[in-house]
């Protein structure tokens, strides 16, 4: 998994059903219950049910990191503030919530079994190669369509 990229976006809400209905009608997203109080949105992120009225309703981007401890030290050294440090999601990984100097909340995610650097680079190259091939195929199809229309 590539590091230091936003890989998950989380909506907090007190009305999960309302958000599911809205996103289904607007974007046709697919949902699945991951655990009590948490709904996954396929390929996008998740919806966190926030029943505590003190908890703000926000959208939080999550960035993949290799080591939460190291990243947390960098955050505090750079003037950020850690709100929740290294919380475990059983069987999956850990997350940290922090804010930058402008009080924007951002999450960090460290999977339990991170992909080795070499494998991550290989996976990233594979994705880029597949995207380039898809683009080339679309261009060829478009070009072929133009030739057909001229005849």
Average pLDDT over residues 3-7: 88
Question: pLDDT tens digit string along 102-134?
Answer: 999 999 999 998 555 565 555 556 555 655 665
**Of 49-58, 67-76, 134-143, which range is least confident?**
134-143
Which residue matches tokens 């999960």?
16
∠ CA 119-124-129, rounded to 5° = 125
pTM of the model: 0.68
The answer to whether residues 8 and 45 touch, using CB atoms and an 8 Å cutoff, is yes
Average pLDDT, the chain: 84
Percent of the chain predicted with pLDDT > 70 = 74
CA distance 3 to 120: 8
């Amino acid at each position: 998994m590539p590091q230091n990229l936003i890989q998950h976006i989380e909506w907090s809400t007190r009305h999960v059903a309302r958000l599911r209905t809205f996103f289904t009608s607007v974007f046709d997203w697919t949902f699945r219950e991951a655990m009590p109080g948490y709904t996954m949105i396929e390929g996008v992120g998740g919806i966190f049910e926030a029943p505590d009225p003190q908890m703000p309703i926000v959208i939080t981007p999550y960035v993949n990191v290799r080591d939460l401890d190291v990243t947390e030290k960098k955050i505090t050294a750079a003037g950020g503030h850690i709100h929740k440090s290294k919380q475990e999601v059983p069987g999956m990984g850990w997350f940290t919530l922090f804010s930058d100097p402008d009080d924007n909340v951002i999450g960090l995610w460290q999977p339990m079994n991170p992909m080795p650097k070499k494998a991550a680079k290989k996976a990233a190259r594979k994705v880029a190669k597949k995207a380039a091939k898809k683009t080339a195929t679309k261009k060829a199809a478009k070009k072929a369509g133009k030739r057909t229309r001229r005849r």
